[in-house]
């Protein structure tokens, strides 16, 4: 056994080193993080507080396809190595949570709209308690129009208007 340093052995040196396989796995994880960042819209990238170099590489990659995109993804992975990638992951998770909340809200508004059109009277009570400035007469008129459009096989213009009105009430609530 060859000695490294004053009293160290070769086995001691191996215990402190990270294997090549582990390094490759870590680098692939960073490359995957880069791919996740590429999937984000630009408005979400702005929220992440990325370095200028990484931000520009991501924006550049948005217009690329196939081989060029693959090379750029590798470049992004190399840039992320020099960044504080744990903070990037945390911020990315916060954005995902916000997005999931928006999706849940969207589905709730769709559900209320569908229940209104189906004739569920309890939904109106729920909406009244949820939105203090709800114009019940306007909502009832839109529901009547939506039902009429549905029976006449016309485009669902009023159903979309109900949804937009509920979205507006949700925004005004905050």
d(CA 160, CA 156): 6
Handedness of CA 84, 89, 92, 97 (dihedral sign): negative
| pLDDT computed for residue 14 by the predictor | 52
Q: 78, exposed or middle or buried, with CB in 10 Å at 0-12, 13-18, 19+? A: middle
| pLDDT computed for residue 1 by the predictor | 37
| pLDDT computed for residue 69 by the predictor | 84
Band (84; pLDDT cuts 50, 70, 90): confident
| pLDDT computed for residue 127 by the predictor | 86
Residue 102, pLDDT above cutoff 60 = yes
pLDDT 10s digits, 35-72 = 788 887 777 777 777 788 888 888 888 888 888 888 88
d(CA 90, CA 45): 13
Give the length of the chain: 174
Residues 6+ apart with CB under 8 A from 114: none
> Do the Cβ atoms of 56 and 42 come closer than 8 Å?
no
How many CB atoms within 10 Å of residue 114? Answer: 15
Average pLDDT, the chain: 80
Band (116; pLDDT cuts 50, 70, 90): confident
> Do the Cβ atoms of 66 and 109 come closer than 8 Å?
no
d(CA 74, CA 62): 14
Band (7; pLDDT cuts 50, 70, 90): low
User: Residue holding tokens 């809200």?
Assistant: 105
pLDDT 10s digits, 19-29 = 888 888 887 88
| pLDDT computed for residue 2 by the predictor | 42
Domains of the chain as residue ranges with CATH: 10-83 (1.10.60), 94-173 (1.10.60.30)
């Amino acid at each position: 056994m060859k000695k490294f340093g004053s009293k160290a052995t070769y086995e001691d040196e191996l215990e402190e080193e990270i294997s090549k396989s582990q390094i490759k796995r870590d680098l692939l994880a960073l490359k995957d993080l880069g791919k996740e960042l590429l999937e984000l819209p630009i408005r979400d990238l702005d929220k992440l507080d990325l370095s200028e170099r990484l931000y520009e590489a991501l924006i550049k990659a948005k217009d690329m396809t196939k081989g060029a995109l693959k090379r750029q993804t590798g470049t992004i992975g190399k840039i992320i190595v020099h960044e504080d990638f744990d903070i990037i992951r945390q911020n990315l998770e916060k954005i995902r949570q916000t997005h999931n909340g928006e999706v849940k809200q969207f589905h709730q508004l769709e559900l209320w709209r569908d229940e209104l059109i189906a004739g569920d009277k309890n939904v109106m009570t729920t909406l009244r308690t949820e939105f203090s400035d709800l114009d019940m007469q306007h909502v009832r008129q839109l529901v009547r129009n939506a039902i009429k459009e549905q029976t006449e096989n016309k485009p669902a213009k009023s159903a979309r208007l109900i949804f937009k009105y509920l979205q507006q009430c949700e925004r005004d609530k905050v």
